[in-house]
Amino acid sequence: MAHEELWAQPALEMPKRRDVLAVVLIVLPWTLLVTVWHQSTVAPLLATRKDDSGDPRREAPPGTDPREYCMSDRDIVEVVRTEYVYTRPPPWSDTLPTIHVVTPTYSRPVQKAELTRLANTLLHVPNLHWLVVEDAPRRTPLTARLLRDTGLNYTHLHVETPRNYKLRGDARDPRIPRGTMQRNLALRWLREAFPRNSSQPGVVYFADDDNTYSLELFEEMRSTRRVSVWPVAFVGGLRYEAPRVNGAGKVVGWKTVFDPHRPFAIDMAGFAVNLRLILQRSQAYFKLRGVKGGYQESSLLRELVTLSDLEPKAANCTKERLLRPAPGRLLSPRRVPPRRTPVDSLPPSLPLWGLQREPGWMPGRRMETPKHRSPGPSVLHPTGSPAGSAPWAPK
């Protein structure tokens, strides 16, 4: 009986040892796998951060060339940073024309979100200068901080639409479309920042902050010789509006519902203008009076080109490069939207503020208007010629 008890004890221990061995065989491969992954992925990052925050005067290991050591260490750091950090602003090229993007903006709950979305798009576009013009008596801290944090080349201006052209409850008087004075101020700034006979290649584009832009759009507009045009989606209650292009590649009309007989029945974001043309035609501005609703684009373009001068982009205006905010419902081509309120006669002068005495913008350089408020040109006549105080000249 005693011998049976002695043999029973080892018999009970054997299954336990087999279980332990099975557990070890299962866990060991996974442990090795996790260790290898940790060494190949996490360790280099930790080593790089430690090297970046450590003493930069560390010495190379004995028996190695210091120059080779620094080069190899720099290569490792650059590889890791390239993979995990987005470099901004976009690279600048001396051969590409500069795109001057004009964005009027105003204070509202979604302003920061929409400016951030647009900035994230512009960060992917090389050789870009962002002209942001606020409808405000002074630069707001929100917009100034946002522009500074983007890393883009930008100019920050402001001009307030007079209060007598605003209705109560912050509703706009339909006689002055939103952003008209802000776009005119940007045109004024460009003409005073660049000489009339400037050889600087560039393109001027009016990009509202509530639209969505394709990156192909910016690359196509860069080759604009005079004025280039393309379709715009979700505008005027339609799925898209577009210029009509004939077989010879010339614009002959417009695919639109609202007043297709306008001289240029196109959306504000549906065209770009060569910078030299803007500088040479100093009288070309968006008109502030005597212009019916929806004719703001025509008031500028008819001072610059004729219909036959337009350059269709986006595969002869067959592809949509830009999306406007989608309306509540899309209209069929047969349904004509209600007639817009015509523009009544406006006073002969409108005050302009926010144009500051600052050096002209240069590639690769940011520019802001100073915090103090100095009077710029006080009057901008409908013809576009400044009157009142003398225009300032870049230093």
Q: Which of 114, 160, 241, 297 is catalytic?
A: 297
CA 131 to chain centre: 10
**Is 219 part of the annotated catalytic residue set?**
no
Distance between CA atoms of 305 and 264, rounded to whole angstroms? 10
Q: Is the bond leading into 89 cis (omega within 30 degrees of zero)? A: yes
Residues in the chain: 395
Q: Quick one: 371 exposed, middle or buried, by C-beta within 10 A (0-12, 13-18, 19+)? A: exposed
For the chain, strand residue ranges (E) read 98-105, 128-134, 153-158, 166-167, 171-172, 202-206, 212-213, 227-229, 232-235, 238-245, 251-255, 271-274, 310-312, 322-323, 367-368, 379-380, 386-387
CA–CA distances in Å: residue 204 to residues 34, 75, 178, 183: 55, 40, 19, 11
- Pairing mode of beta strands 322-323, 238-245: unpaired
| Residue 395: how many other CB atoms lie within 10 Å | 7
Distance between CA atoms of 127 and 118, rounded to whole angstroms? 16
CA-only gyration radius of the chain, Å:
31
Distance between CA atoms of 104 and 185, rounded to whole angstroms? 10
94 annotated among ligand-binding-site residues: no
Lookup: tokens for 18:
């087999």
CA 392 to chain centre: 28
CA dihedral 161, 162, 167, 173 (to 10 degrees): -60
Q: Which residues are annotated as a binding site for Mn(2+)?
A: 210
Catalytic residues: 297
Q: Which residues are annotated as a binding site?
A: 210
